[in-house]
Amino acid sequence: MSPTYDVIVIGLGGMGSAAAHHLSARGARVLGLERFGPVHDRGSSHGGSRITRQSYFEDPAYVPLLLRAYELYEEVERATGREITTLCGGVMIGRPDSRTVSGSLRSAEQWDLAHEVLDARELRRRFPTLNPQDDEVALFEAKAGLVRPENMVAAHLQLAGRQGADLHFDEPVVRWEPYRDGVRVHTAVNTYTAGRLVICPGAWAPRLLTGLGVPFTIERQVMYWFQPSSPDGVEPFRPENHPVYIWEDAEGVQVYGFPAIDGPELGAKVAFFRKGEITTPETIDRTVHDHEVAAMAEHMSRCIPELPGTFLKAATCMYSNTPDEHFVISRHPAHPESVTVACGFSGHGFKFVPVVGEIVADLALTGTTAHPIGLFDPRRLAATPA
């Protein structure tokens, strides 16, 4: 019996929705399976905004993928009419030897990316809401900004559906297994076969990829929205006046934040980068507690004194971390002919969504990709051979 589908995609969040789009655009018969509804808020691909940047402090090896992602942002916007990006500029702030600043500068110089290095005085002059210490500096990147996660996921699902992909929501996967020359996937309601399988599990990676040999940890994160107390209201915090930022203090604690992108009633978003609690998708505490709000407000009062004026709301999400905080994008080492995985995005993956979808389609359909993904081989992390 021939498989029903060419490719099954498990997970239709950021990466899975992009994979479904790119696979179906190449003519593959695609089944997408998602445990929740479309564009949900139970995983990682939500919260209204995610930072995008090219001067990448994590590693210069990411930069070529970011350059391609920026091209694909525009393609998706043209194809769907949805707003995906706002390039309002961004500042990476800290002491000169901090990872945030020195790593960003390393990538910018290695890839000849347009940037400026601002001392504390110039940073305050250009962006009066920011209050850096005298020994802090910033790398400013005009091409940095934000992407809207819900719009991105919705756009990729729209394109996948338009191209003939069969998308099933509220249908959680129970297990998958090799089957004949392909794979078989069991859900709560049915069983499907395909020649290839793509697994984009987000926080469900520890359950669905037990044989990968990667020690994933799932981390609870909290996003906060505050209404600034500026005498000029929200005006200084609008995207035309205010950059996105990642700010590392002397102890290495990083916060990141955004301009007020949706008007004064929704405020400006800020969060700690990491510093979360280990959890699971089943046990995550979705309640944001008063002491958490107080800690966020106290930290931001030193950086942007007018920001924590009035607390508006908060929401939780999950990071799916690898030990070295680099991604996993690869053919499955134990099933290289039939299974492709994209996971472990460690809190900094969403800006890569469209190019990861392209890479996954390459790997699933041809077994290789022209994109540089050597950094993301899961075998670098395996405690034992897969």
Tell me: is residue 211 an annotated ligand-binding position.
no
Tell me: is residue 10 an annotated ligand-binding position.
yes
Tell me: is residue 195 an annotated ligand-binding position.
no
Tell me: is residue 23 an annotated ligand-binding position.
yes
The full DSSP string for 311-357 is EEEEEEEEEEE-TTS--EEEE-TTSTTTEEEEE--TT--GGGHHHHH
Tell me: is residue 6 an annotated ligand-binding position.
yes
Pair 379, 386: CB distance under 8 Å: yes
Tell me: is residue 9 an annotated ligand-binding position.
yes
Q: What's the CA gap between 94 and 247, in Å, rounded?
A: 6
Tell me: is residue 24 an annotated ligand-binding position.
yes
Tell me: is residue 18 an annotated ligand-binding position.
yes
Tell me: is residue 16 an annotated ligand-binding position.
yes
Q: What's the CA gap between 206 and 274, in Å, rounded?
A: 19
Tell me: is residue 314 an annotated ligand-binding position.
no
Q: By C-alpha distance, which of 321, 5, 30 is closest to 156? A: 30
Tell me: is residue 51 an annotated ligand-binding position.
no
Tell me: is residue 36 an annotated ligand-binding position.
yes
Which residue in this structure is represented by tokens 């091209």? Answer: 71
Token pair recorded at residue 272: 């700690």
Pair 376, 345: CB distance under 8 Å: no
Tell me: is residue 55 an annotated ligand-binding position.
no
Tell me: is residue 26 an annotated ligand-binding position.
yes
Tell me: is residue 27 an annotated ligand-binding position.
yes
Tell me: is residue 13 an annotated ligand-binding position.
yes
Tell me: is residue 22 an annotated ligand-binding position.
yes
Q: Where are the alpha helices (DSSP H) in 235-331?
A: 290-303
Tell me: is residue 30 an annotated ligand-binding position.
yes
Which residues share a beta bridge with 177?
184
Tell me: is residue 33 an annotated ligand-binding position.
yes
Q: Taking each helix axis as running N to C, give the angle between helix 149-162 and helix 353-366, from 0 to 180 degrees, rounded to the nearest 10.
A: 40
Tell me: is residue 25 an annotated ligand-binding position.
yes
Pair 351, 53: CB distance under 8 Å: yes
Tell me: is residue 205 an annotated ligand-binding position.
no
Tell me: is residue 19 an annotated ligand-binding position.
yes
The 3-state DSSP class for residue 242 equals: coil
Tell me: is residue 219 an annotated ligand-binding position.
no
The full DSSP string for 94-138 is E-TTSHHHHHHHHHHHHTT---EEEEHHHHHHH-TT----TT-EE
Would you list which residues are annotated within the binding site? 6-36
Would you list which residues are annotated within the binding site for FAD? 6-36
